[in-house]
């Protein structure tokens, strides 16, 4: 970049803010990134240079690469891209979505802290909150009607450290009001943490709506289901402190190979999300009219449709669920009759996927907890891919006809 610039050029630079679609390719880039495509820095440790520099790096007084458990050039490049897409000051890439949530919970709520969480969660997170964190002395209160803001307020305690919400939620696709939740958390002086895995920054940027921290499972839409990874995003001070404490000594780092895969898929995120949304709407409309379907769980239907549209105007993403008429037997029949949908426990791939949440992804929840979270034995979860939606509809139609 030229060193001395005229006033006009400087003003132009200030006004030129890259659009989101450009950020997915260029976001977070610096002039130090000499490779068009990220090189994979498959290395454990970096040369310290001098005695003094080593001390400063370890003390966090100087920024630089130390050891790939703490930071790595390929992972750093991904972190800059993620932060720019999310509108965050900084990002920390982790080995998985679960490690991001576990790490953040321990960091924020250690030594007897309390979490107020929506009960509409991916089963693994529910289990972490219900069974695992309490073993470490961290307690969690689940809000059983997360649409009721007073229920969040009632669940607050003096030792609450943060409010946690998955938005939209897996698998029933609840869409909550981030601004309202952030205002409620802040009224108690607490943080709002949002798991934005299903939205991705292509559809929502919770930090811009008042959330304090965003977590992602990158293993889903972000990475097109190719490899496992996660991220924590927020203020630089929090991310830097997290990196040099629980992250550095806990070790849930992302491999540089995976970071390169995520960087590559980030370049197509917005276009892919658009296709997922469009296909999901087509499939949801078909299912809503089908006589063997009791209920479609997608935000374009039901009493909350208008609110959901206001909260997610760019679309609701590619995940949905539906209840077949009957019970687990009928759901199984449909699942086993699908030909194009892969039977797999993931979300956000180009190929469409199906699973029975009550016995798999959410199998750690008790029957009554499942019922309260809106999941029945007849619920099937679909991750709608990017195939021609007519083929997906044909496949679902022939499978439903088997009942």
| # residues near ligand PLP by CB under 6 A | 16
Residues 220-249: x/- map of binding to ligand PLP (CB under 6 A)? --------x-x-------------------
- Tokens encoding 344: 């797999």
- Pick between residue 57 and residue 254 the one whose CB is nearest to ligand PLP: 254
Distances in Å between the Cα of 376 and the Cα atoms of 214, 217, 324 are: 29, 25, 10
330, 301, 342, 394 alpha-carbon torsion, rounded to 10°: 80
- Pick between residue 98 and residue 331 the one whose CB is nearest to ligand PLP: 98
- Pick between residue 184 and residue 196 the one whose CB is nearest to ligand PLP: 196
Q: Which residue is nearest to ligand PLP (CB)?
A: 97
Judged by CB under 6 A, does residue 170 bind ligand PLP? yes
Q: How far is the CB of 360 from ligand PLP (least distance, A)?
A: 11
Strand, coil or helix: what is 215? Answer: strand
Residues 120-139: x/- map of binding to ligand PLP (CB under 6 A)? --x-xx--------------
Judged by CB under 6 A, does residue 76 bind ligand PLP? no
199, 216, 133, 127 alpha-carbon torsion, rounded to 10°: 50
- Pick between residue 125 and residue 399 the one whose CB is nearest to ligand PLP: 125
86-105 binders of ligand PLP (CB under 6 A)? 96-98
Distances in Å between the Cα of 117 and the Cα atoms of 128, 166, 196, 262, 363 are: 12, 9, 14, 29, 19
Judged by CB under 6 A, does residue 217 bind ligand PLP? yes
DSSP letter string over 158-225? TTEEEEEEESSPTTT-----HHHHHHHHHHTT-EEEEE-TTTHHHH--GGGGT-SEEEEETTTTTTTT
Closest CA to 74 of 212, 293, 256, 219: 256
Of these, 24, 76, 86, 195, which contacts ligand PLP (CB under 6 A)? 195
Of these, 197, 200, 205, 258, which contacts ligand PLP (CB under 6 A)? 197
Strand, coil or helix: what is 238? Answer: helix
Tell me which residues touch ligand PLP (CB under 6 A). Answer: 96-98, 122, 124-125, 166, 170, 195, 197-198, 217, 219, 228, 230, 347
């Amino acid at each position: 970049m030229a060193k001395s610039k005229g006033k006009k050029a400087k003003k132009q630079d200030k006004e030129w803010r890259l659009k989101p679609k450009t950020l997915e390719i260029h976001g977070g880039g610096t002039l130090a990134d000499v490779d068009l495509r990220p090189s994979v820095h498959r290395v454990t440790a970096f040369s310290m240079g001098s005695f003094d520099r080593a001390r400063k790096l370890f003390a966090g007084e100087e920024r630089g690469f130390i050891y790939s458990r703490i930071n790595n050039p390929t992972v750093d490049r991904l972190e800059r891209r993620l932060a720019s897409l999310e509108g965050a000051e900084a990002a920390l890439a982790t080995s998985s979505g679960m490690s991001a949530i576990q790490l953040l919970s321990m960091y924020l709520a250690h030594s007897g802290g309390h979490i107020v969480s929506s009960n509409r969660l991916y089963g693994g997170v529910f289990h972490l909150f219900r069974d695992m964190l309490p073993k470490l002395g961290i307690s969690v209160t689940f809000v059983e009607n997360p649409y009721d803001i007073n229920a969040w307020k009632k669940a607050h305690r003096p030792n609450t450290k943060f409010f946690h919400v998955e938005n939209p939620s897996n698998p029933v696709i609840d869409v909550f009001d981030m601004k309202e939740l952030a205002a409620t958390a802040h009224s108690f002086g607490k943080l709002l943490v949002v798991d934005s895995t299903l939205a991705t920054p292509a559809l929502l940027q919770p930090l811009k709506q008042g959330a304090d921290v965003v977590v992602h499972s990158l293993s889903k839409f972000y990475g097109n289901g190719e490899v496992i990874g996660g991220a924590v995003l927020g203020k630089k001070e929090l991310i830097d402190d997290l990196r040099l404490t629980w992250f550095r000594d806990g070790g849930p780092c992302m491999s540089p190979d995976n970071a390169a895969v995520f960087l590559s898929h980030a370049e197509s995120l917005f276009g892919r999300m658009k296709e997922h949304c469009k296909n999901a709407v087509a499939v949801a409309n078909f299912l809503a009219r089908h006589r063997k379907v009791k209920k479609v769980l997608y935000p374009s239907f039901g009493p909350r449709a208008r609110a959901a549209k206001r909260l997610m105007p760019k679309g609701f993403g590619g995940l949905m669920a539906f209840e077949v008429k009957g019970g687990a037997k009928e759901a199984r029949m449909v699942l086993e009759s699908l030909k194009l949908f892969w039977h797999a426990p993931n979300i956000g791939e180009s190929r469409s996927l199906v699973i029975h949440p009550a016995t798999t992804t959410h199998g750690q929840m008790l029957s009554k907890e499942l019922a309260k979270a809106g999941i029945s034995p007849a619920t099937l979860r679909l991750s709608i891919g990017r195939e021609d939606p007519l083929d997906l509809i044909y496949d679902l139609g022939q499978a439903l006809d088997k009942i």
